[in-house]
Structure 1
């Protein structure tokens, strides 16, 4: 269905940096109810890399991501995103084994996204420079902008496990 593709594209645009292989086959869409559900989303290992935290995600999963979209009053009501069952296994940044191939692929993905963002910015700048032609935002641009301006995020059941195999703590035992 076309609407599923549109919603999947929007979700990929905003969640693609954090979630692996987001596609429309995972999407369960109740069009008239305004409910979108995604199950068993795998979190990318580099999901926290832009935050410059001293740990990395070794494994992660979101059991269920639900979006409630008020189609009838999109400009008046909030879009509610609910994450249920957020599981993260984090390790110190130094404990991740270096994989040159994975690192190269990650860098390539980052460069590709950055190029796309630059191209979009250049296109927008070129459009602004055009003499007052009637520019109309597409339906998708208006929809995405409105959703982002009016979104509420709820997270339930957060489980974070921190495994430290770098530090070598020896516990004192008095026998």
Structure 2
């Protein structure tokens, strides 16, 4: 059950963004406490859902590593290390875009991000409510109810303590559309950054 909760959390957080990231290939190393996947592709369909006036030419992840502290899962973070990310994009055909299209695209992108944030918040709130309800029922007796409360609390703990570390991210924008006679290329390299859940005290 604990393994399934962890798999659900990982696929919910990253499954839409990375091709081939499913429960099947994650479960291989989950009990060992170490999952390592290499040479993954970013899901272009997920990026296109943002409706930005760009075309993603190539998206690549060198390694995707998950470390699971099974012996201390209720007190320590599940860490996800994503390394050697390359994203190459170019502007969409300007003949297919106009100011009104861009305005609608920006609104759609903001709406998509808001919906995703809302869905995530709702899912975590449900998990917390189930955790409280399960814990209260478990106090009244019944081993099954106690287990339900424990696993609900564990699911909330995994989601709240998920730690994401990105290293060596290269974003490159190539523009040969605006001026075919003089292509422009701009790149940004991010050495590392971290994403971590916060609490009401930090």
Asked if the contact 2:42–2:61 (Cα under 8 Å) also holds between the matched residues in 1, the reply is yes
Residue 22 of structure 2 corresponds to residue 31 of structure 1: no
Shift of 1:87: 1.1
Q: TM-score, normalised by structure 1?
A: 0.60
Pairwise CA RMSD: 3.7
Matched, 1:166 2:177: yes
SS at match of 1:163: strand
Q: What residue in structure 1 maps to residue 89 of structure 2?
A: 90
Is 1:68 the equivalent of 2:67? yes
Gaps in structure 1 of 5+ consecutive residues: 98-109
Give the SS at the match of 1:145.
helix
Residues 147 and 13 of structure 1: CA distance in aligned 2, closer, same or farther (over 3 Å): same
Q: Are the equivalent residues in 2 in contact too, given 1:26–1:39 (CA < 8 A)?
A: no
Distance in structure 2 (CA, Å) of the matches to 1:45 and 1:146? 31
What does residue 145 of structure 1 align with?
156
The answer to which structure has the higher helix fraction is 2
Which residue is 2:77 aligned to?
Answer: 78
TM-score by length of 2: 0.53
Change beyond 3 A, Cα 1:57–1:138: farther
Quickly say closer, same or farther: Cα 1:8–1:151, change in 2 above 3 A. Answer: closer
1:42 positional shift: 1.0
Counterpart-to-counterpart distance in 1, 2:20 and 2:35: 17
CA distance in 1, matches of 2:37, 2:3: 12
Structure 2: unaligned runs, 5 residues or longer: 97-111, 138-144, 183-202
d(CA) in 1 for partners of 2:149, 2:60: 35
- Alignment partners' CA distance in 1, 2:48 and 2:5: 28
Q: Contact between 2:6 and 2:158, CA under 8 Å: does it hold in 1?
A: no
Contact 2:74 2:154 in 1 (8 A): no
Measured against aligned partners, the alpha-carbon deviations of 1:89-120 in whole angstroms (never above 9, x if no partner) come to 1122447x9xxxxxxxxxxxx9xxx9xx7xx9
Shift of 1:166: 2.4
Structure 1 contact 38–64 (Cα < 8 Å) conserved: yes
- Shift of residue 142, structure 1, vs aligned partner: 4.0
- Residues 67-105 of structure 1: CA deviation (Å, up to 9, x unaligned): 11111111211221111111111122447x9xxxxxxxx
